[in-house]
Structure 1
Amino acid sequence: MSSQVRLSLLPRARCMFDEPVQVKVAGLRSGQMVTLRARSTDEKGVLFSSSATFRADGSGQIDLERDPSLGGTYTGEGPFPAVLDLYTSGGGLSEKRPSLLASRGPQVGSKGVGVISLSKSGDLALSMASYLQGVEAVVWINGCSANTLLPLYYQKSQILPALMIDLSKLIPTESEAFNGKKVMNDPLAEENEATLIPVERAEGRLLFVASEDDLNWDSTAYVDMMVERLQRHRKDNFEIVCYPGAGHILEPPYGPYCPSSLHAVVGSPVLLGGEAWSHAAAEVHLWEKIQEFFRTHLSCDATQTKAKL
C-alpha cells in the first residue's frame, strides 16, 4: 500500500486479547478494495489466520467496527484471585483464561474459592461444589449434569460412577467430522441415575451457561435437568445464561472460532456447533458476565494474603 495509507489500532496497539481493538484504515482511494489479514500463534505454536475484504467509503476510509466485510476466510494489581480454572479434556495446560482472570484481580479473600469449568470439567466443578466445603461460586459452561467418562474418586473411595458414551450414536457429516450431540447415554435412565451429581448439596452460587447450538452434547438439556433438581429441593442459588447460535467451546473473546475439533475420547474430529458471528458475540457477553459473577459472589476479607513469589 502507499506510504500515505494509515492503519490505526485504537485505543492502542498493545493490549490484552480480551479487549476490543478498533481497526481503521485511511488514505485510500474512494471505493478502493482492500484485504486485511491477521495472524495469531497460540501457546502450542499453532498458527491461526484470518482475512477479510473491505471497500473504502467516499473519503477513502475503512472502519471495521462500522463497515461490513465483502467476504472472509478463517484458516492486577492487588489480591491474588482464588479461582480454580478447570479446563476441558483436550490435554495440556491452557493458561490464557486463568491469566486473564488474574489480571482482572477479582477481590477474593480466604473464605472460599471460585471454580470455572468447560465441557467435561463442568461435572468436576459441580462435584466439588456438591461435596467440598468452601466453594462459593461455580461457572459451568456447556458441561453435563452427571459425572462423565471416568468414575469419580475422593481419598481412594468412589463417589460417583461414570456416565458413558455410545459411539454408535455418532452421526457422520459431509465435513468428515462427527455430530456427537446424542452420543452420551441418558443420565435420567434408571441404570444411569447413580451418575447424576447431587447439585442440590451445593451451597455456593452456580452460573449455568449453555450454548443452544452445542453439537458436542446436549448442554441445554443438562441445564434443564439440574434446574428441575434444584427447584425440587427448593434451591434458588443458580442463574442461567443461554446463547442461541453459539457452539460448544466458549472461550475468552476475540480468539479464533473453531467449528470442529479432534475429540480426545472419540478419537476423531467432532463438530462443536455454532455460527461464527453468534458464537463470537456470545464470547464477548459471557466474558463480562463471568467477571461480574465472581466479583459479586466471591467474598473479600479485610486483610489479604501477600504474594510469596
Structure 2
Amino acid sequence: MMLRLQPPPLLWLFGAGRAALRAATRGRGGLGVRSVSDGPVKLTATPSKSLADEPLDIQAEGLGAEQAVTLRAQVVTDQGQLFASCGQYRADGAGRLVVSQSPSLGGDYEGVAPMGLLWTLSPAPMEQPYLKLSQAHLTGSPMYIDLCVHSGHSGKTTIPGQPLAKQRIERWYSKPGLRRIRLREGNIRGSIFIPPGDGPFPGLIDLFGDEGGLIEFRACLLASRGFATLALPYFGFEDLPMTMTDLHLEYFEEAVNYLKKHPKVKGPGIGVIGSSKGGDLALSMITFLPQVVASVCISGCHANTITDLHYKDMRLPSLSYNVDRIIVSDSGILDMSKTLENPSTNKGSIIPLEKAEGHILFVVGEDDKIWDSKFFASEAIKRLKKNGKDNYKLLSYPGTGHCIDPPCSPFRPAKIDRLFGLPVLLGGEAIKHCYAQQDAWEKIQEFLRLHLG
C-alpha cells in the first residue's frame, strides 16, 4: 500500500515553517522528505502560452536532494467548474525534477508521462463526476491552468503539503487572427472557423455523435492548424430537431456545397472528420457525395446507426440496440459495448463503401466500450479489399477507449448518457489513451493535408 504523506492539519492551517515540516515527516521510511532546500524553488512550464494541443515541458529546480514532492494542476473553467490532477515525484540528487524524464510514483497516474498532469485532469470531488473539461469561449481568451509543486506526497482528497512554487499557463484553442463565424445559411447551422492568413485553405466538416448541439473545440483547433473547418450540428441546436430523428444526407450535402463555394476554401474536394455516430456519417458522406474526397472515421461503425439515413430515393435503415444486454457494474456504470446489433444481421444498414472514390482513415481504440469500433473497421476494410479498393488506412490503438479527441483532452473513463442520465463506460487506460490521442492527432492532420492538397 502506498503511503499518502501530508503535514498534520494543524501545522498546515497555522503556517508551520520548514523546520516543523521536516520534523513532521522525519521517520516515515523512504517516502518522507529526505532533504529540503533552503533556497527558492522554481517551477517552469514551457511554453507558458501555447495551443491546447501542444506538449509542455515541466521542470522544478531548487528542491532538496531526492525530495518527495507532489505536482498539482487546477483549472476553473469559464463555466465555473473545478478540475484537478496530481502526480507524486521525487527530485534527483541535485534537487531537480524533469517531468519528461522522471516517473510519477502515485497520484492520478504512474510512470513517465510528460503531459500526465493535463491528461488526468478530472472533476474535483465537489463537482459532478464524469464532466468533460471544456471551454465555452474558444476565441479571444485562453484556458488558464495553475500548476503548483508541494512538499511531500499527497493525493487529490488529502491536504497538500507546503506549496513551494507556482506557475500559471495559458492554453489556447485559437491562434491570433483566427475568425469564428456563426452560420445560418439555408438549412445549415453551425460555426465556421477560418485560419489566420490569406488562404485559401483546405475545407473540412467536423461532426460529433449523439451528444447533440454545436461542438466547436476540435474545429477551432483544426482551423488553428490550417483547415477552414465547419463545426456542423445536426440535431439539438437552434431550429434543428431537438432529438435525432431520421437524417437526410441532403443536409450534409448542402454544407459540403456551401464550404466548397466559400472564398477562403480551396478545392477541388472537401474533407470530413466524424466521431462515433459522426463517424458513420463521415463514411456515408464519402460514399454518396463525390465532393467529399477525404473522410476520417473515429470510433465509428461501417453501418448506419441510431436512426435511418435518407438520400434521394435511397434509405439506409439503422442498426438497433438491445438494452437487455446492458451490463451494470457494482459502481453503477453502464457497459453498452454488447448492445448494438451486429451489422451482419441487418445487411441493409451497411454503408456501401466500395462506391467511395476518396480516401478513408479509420481511427479506433481497441478498448472501446461503447461499441466494437475495431471490429467495425476491420469489416469495412474487408469489404473494401473484396472490391479491389486500397483507398484506406487504419490507426488502431491498444488500451484506448471510445472518445479519441485532440491531445488537449483529458481522459474520461465514463460519460453521462444523454438518454439514460447515467454514467456510461467509455473504455481505455488513461496514459495509453492519451498517448494514442497525441499520435492520432498528428496522423489525422497528415492524412487530411495529403488528400486535401
Q: Is TM-score (shorter-chain normalized) higher than 0.5?
A: yes
Q: Supply the AA of the counterpart residue of 1:161.
A: P
CA contact under 8 A between 1:151 and 1:158: conserved in structure 2? no
How many residues were matched structurally?
295
- How far did residue 154 of structure 1 move? 3.3
What secondary structure, in the 3-state scheme, does the structure 2 residue paired with 1:185 have? coil
**Residue 89 (structure 1) aligns with:** 210
The answer to whether the 8 Å contact 1:247/1:274 transfers is yes
Deviations 1:53-75 (A, max 9, x none): 11111111111101111212353
- Please give the secondary structure, in 2, of the residue aligned with 1:51: strand
CA pair 218-248 structure 1, distance change in 2 beyond 3 A: same
Q: Which whole-Å CA distance do the structure 1 matches of 2:281 and 2:75 have between them?
A: 31
Instruction: Please state how far the C-alpha of 1:3 moved relative to its aligned partner.
Output: 7.2
* Residue 343 of structure 2: aligned partner: 187
Q: Aligned partners of 2:339, 2:287: CA distance in 1, in Å?
A: 26
Distance 1:72 1:121, change over 3 A: same
Q: Give unpaired runs (5+ residues) of structure 1.
A: 300-309
Letter in 2 for 1:160: L
Q: Among 342, 367, 371, which residue is 1:213 paired with? A: 367
Give 1:98 shift: 0.8
- Residue 105 (structure 2) aligned to one of 70, 85, 96: 70
1:18 aligns with 2:57: no
Aligned residue type for 2:274: S
| 1:104 equivalenced with 2:104 (yes/no) | no
Matched residue of 2:272: which SS? strand
Of Structure 1 and Structure 2, which has the larger fraction of its residues in strand? 2
Matched, 1:282 2:443: no
1:266 CA drift (Å): 4.5
Say whether the 8 Å CA contact 2:274–2:298 is kept in structure 1: yes
Equivalent position of 1:36 in the other structure: 71
CA distance in 2, matches of 1:93, 1:38: 28
Once the two structures are superposed, residues 200-259 of structure 1 have per-residue CA deviations (whole angstroms, 9 ceiling, x without a partner) of: 111110001111011110001101111111111111110111001101100100321101
Change (3 A) 1:145 1:171: same
User: Could you list the per-position Cα deviations for residues 108-134 of structure 1 after superposition, in whole angstroms to 9, with x for gaps in the alignment?
Assistant: 622111101111111111111111121
Shift of 1:81: 3.6
Shift of 1:158: 5.6
Which protein, 1 or 2, shows the higher relative CO under an 8 Å CA cutoff with sep ≥ 6? 1
Q: Which is higher, the Rg of structure 1 or of structure 2?
A: 2
Matched-pair contact (CA < 8 Å) for 2:384–2:390: yes
Offset at 1:42? 5.0
- Tell me, yes or no, if structure 1 residue 123 matches structure 2 residue 244: no
CA distance in 2, matches of 1:265, 1:135: 32
**Take 2:420 and 2:386, find their aligned partners in 1: how far apart are those partners?**
35
Preserved contact between residue 202 and residue 267 of structure 2 (Cα < 8 Å)? no
Give me the whole-angstrom Cα distance separating, in 2, the residues matched to 1:202 and 1:267: 37
1:230 maps to 384
Match of 1:134 among 279, 288, 291: 291
Identity %: 43
Provide the TM-score with structure 1 as the length reference.
0.90
Instruction: Give the letter aligned to residue 281 of structure 2.
Output: L
Bigger shift: residues 119-128 or 103-112: 103-112
Partner of 2:400: 246
Offset at residue 34 of structure 1 (A):
1.5
Report the CA distance between 1:16 and its aligned residue.
0.4
Change (3 A) 1:82 1:71: same
Q: Distance in 1 between matches of 2:348 and 2:79?
A: 38
**C-alpha distance in structure 2 between counterparts of 1:279 and 1:290, whole Å:** 16
Question: Quick one: distance in 2 between partners of 1:71 and 1:185?
Answer: 41
Contact 2:275 2:299 in 1 (8 A): yes
Residues 139-218 of structure 1: matches in 2 within 5 Å?
Answer: 139-154=296-311, 159-189=315-345, 192-218=346-372
SS at match of 1:77: coil
Q: Structure 1's 110 and 200: CA in aligned 2 closer, same or farther, altered over 3 A? A: same
Aligned to 1:306: none
> Please, which of 37, 41, 49 is the counterpart of residue 5 of structure 1?
41
The 3 A distance-change label for structure 1 pair 105 and 259 is same
Amino acid aligned to 1:147: N
Give the secondary-structure state (helix, strand or coil) at the position aligned to 1:284. helix
CA distance in 2, matches of 1:230, 1:43: 45
**Cα distance in 1 between the residues matched to 2:344 and 2:79:** 39
Q: Which amino acid aligns with 2:315?
A: I
Native 8 Å contact 2:202 2:452 kept in 1: no
Which SS does the other structure have where 2:328 is aligned? coil
3-state DSSP class of the match of 1:67? coil
Gap change, CA 1:40 and 1:159, over 3 Å in 2: farther
CA separation of 1:38 and 1:223: change in aligned 2, threshold 3 A: same
